[in-house]
Structure formats: structure tokens, C-alpha cells
Amino acid sequence: MQNWHDRTVASGERVVDAPSQNWVYRALPRALWPYAQLARWDRPIGWQLLLWPCWWSAALAPQWAAASAVHTGLPNFWHLLLFVIGAIAMRGAGCTYNDLVDHEIDGRVTRTRSRPLPSGRVTRLNAKLFLVAQSLVGLAVLVQFNLFAIGLGIASLATVAIYPFLKRVTDWPQVGLGLAFSWGALMGWAGYWGTLGWAPFALYVGAVLWTVGYDTIYAHQDREDDALVGVRSTARLFGERTKPALAILYLGTILCFALAYQLTGGTSGGPAWPAYAALAIGAGQMIWQIWSLDIDDAEQCLALFKSNNLFGWIIFLGLIVSSLWMLSFPTHY
């Protein structure tokens, strides 16, 4: 059996900001490694952050009091699984598309010039074919839902299409990312009910603000290179004012989530106290991010960016415990 150390990515095959020791390089033949890097399979944080709004919405939807006098229970577990597959496929497709659009820019930025396209390890034609293949997987997932959700999912492609171009024309490309990455806040609800309401819209707005916040932290890794090549970002826009900007963005996230919970409940029902307790814990995690942030420490920026996966778990588990609490004590609702 081949030793794991022999499977470590050689210097000419690795991406400088990606792990060189990952399951991708243990499980896949060497010829597929550049495609795994193109789809960011070796960096799961991207699909995890894309997944959370889907799961939050899927967990919140069954607690909609206006739909039934009786609490409808836990989220649809088949939907949760579909969202995982869809998030991996569409995040990979989005990254592939983004790399095709940013081919020349990536070749001029230290952190990205070793990616498969600018380094020449994948041709543009093969990247396009890989994009189609991943998109077809995403489509296969989408058609498992109701017609309303299918139409809503197709509509999300507009936000995905424009995002890579925003960094050339606005200081707020992170808003474009937020609009695309947060679409799941609508999809989870639509997949469950076949319609939308004010609650998922409030959740969506909160998720957009959250995305702008965490991607601002991420973008500080490239601030100097971005200035050299003319790429714009909220990291460059906020600069030394990043901490107060994050405080506003994250406060807006928490308030929008609390509003979504209230709109879900109406005059009765809706999430129980564990959901609100988790929201308070999530706010504490956000405060820790802001307090700890050093915008000149690239490694720390990456670590704080990744810590938002913990925030996702906090909010989701709060909603799950809320459902379990309501099922255990139905007379209170």
C-alpha cells in the first residue's frame, strides 16, 4: 500500500493557500487532483458556508405557526442530504466558473497564481467541461424539489453569473457573493412549503450580511495584491475601519435572524427558547471574531473566516433543539 507521505502534493501540483495533505489526494488518482483543486474539494469550508443558509431555512420552515395549528416537527432529512450534495456540486461549479472569469487576475496574485488554470495544469476547455458536469449534478439535485423551488433555484443563477465581475466595478463585491451564497435561506423554506414568506426573506437578508462580514475577513488576505492589480473589495474599502464595519454587519445578521424567528411564530408558535439562546451564543462567537481580528495577519484572517462554520452549527443546532423542545412540550405552543 502506498505510503501517505508519498501522496503529499508535490510543489508543482499544489495551490499555495490549500492543504497539501487532504483526503482528496489519498482517494483520487493524481490526474484528477487539479480538478479537485478547481472545485475546492480540498477546502470544504466553502461548501459548508454555502450549506448553512439552506439548513437554517430547512430547520426553521417546519416551525411556521401560520401554516398549521400543530408544530410540524423536524426538518425533512432527505432535503438536508440533497442540500449537502447540491452545496458541494454548486460551490465547485461556482469556483470553476469564477476561476475561468478570473484566469488572468489570478495569475497576477501571489495567493492564486498556483491555481490549476493560471498554472496551466488544466486547460480552459477542460475547465468548461468540468463546469458543465458539476452543474448537471446540481440540476439533478434541484429537480428533486417541488416546481416552485426548482424555479427559485434556477433564478439563483443570475446572482452566480454576475458575482465574478463585481470586483472590477464596485467596492462591494462581497454583497454579490452574499446574494448568491445566501440563496439557500429561501430554498430551504421553498423546498418545504412550496412557497415563500417574510420569515425566509428576513433570514436571507441576515445571511447576506453574515456573508459580507466573513468574506471581508477573508479578503484581507489579498488586500495588498488586490490594490496592485485593481481588484476592489470591502476589505480595501473598510481598511482600518473593518472592526466597526463588522460589528454593524454582524449585529444586522443577529437582528434579521431574530426577526425571522418572530415572523415564523406570528402570535403563537415559532421557534422556542433554545433557538434564541443559540442566537445569543452565535452573537458571542461573532464578538470573539471581531475582538480577535488582526487584518494584517493573513493566517489569522483565514482562521477567523473558517470559524464561521462553528457559527453555522450553533444556529442550526439551536433550531433543531427548538423543534425537539416543542415536540416534547406541545401544550406550551
Which long-range contacts does 3-11 make (Cβ < 8 Å, 24+ apart)? 9/33
Which domains are assigned to the chain? 43-332 (1.10.357.140)
Q: What is the pTM of this model?
A: 0.90
CB of 326 closer than 8 Å to CB of 272: yes
Say what percent of the chain tops pLDDT 70: 89
Q: How confident is the model at residue 14 (pLDDT cuts 50, 70, 90)?
A: low
Positive or negative torsion for Cα 328, 254, 231, 167: positive
Out of 30-39, 111-120, 133-142, the most confident range is 133-142
pLDDT in tens, 278-323: 999 999 999 999 999 999 999 999 999 999 999 999 999 999 999 9
- SS3 category, 325: helix
What per-residue confidence (pLDDT) applies to 112? 76
Q: 270 — alpha (psi -120 to 50), left (phi > 0) or beta?
A: left
C-alpha cell at 5: 507521505
Which long-range contacts does 232-237 make (Cβ < 8 Å, 24+ apart)? 232/167, 232/168, 232/169, 232/170, 232/171, 232/173, 233/167, 233/171, 233/173, 233/174, 234/171, 234/172, 234/173, 234/174, 235/295, 236/171, 237/171, 237/172
Lowest mean pLDDT among 88-97, 112-121, 130-139, 264-273: 264-273
Q: 40 — alpha (psi -120 to 50), left (phi > 0) or beta?
A: left
What's the whole-number mean pLDDT along residues 149-157? 96
Look at residue 7 and tell me whether its pLDDT is greater than 80.
Answer: no
What's the whole-number mean pLDDT along residues 100-112? 79
Distance of alpha carbon 308 from alpha carbon 304, whole angstroms: 7
pLDDT in tens, 59-75: 999 988 655 544 567 89
Q: What is the dihedral of CA 276, 180, 191, 51, to 10 degrees?
A: -60
pLDDT in tens, 163-211: 989 988 999 999 999 999 999 999 999 999 999 999 999 999 999 999 9
Look at residue 53 and tell me whether its pLDDT is greater than 60.
Answer: yes
CB of 321 closer than 8 Å to CB of 274: yes
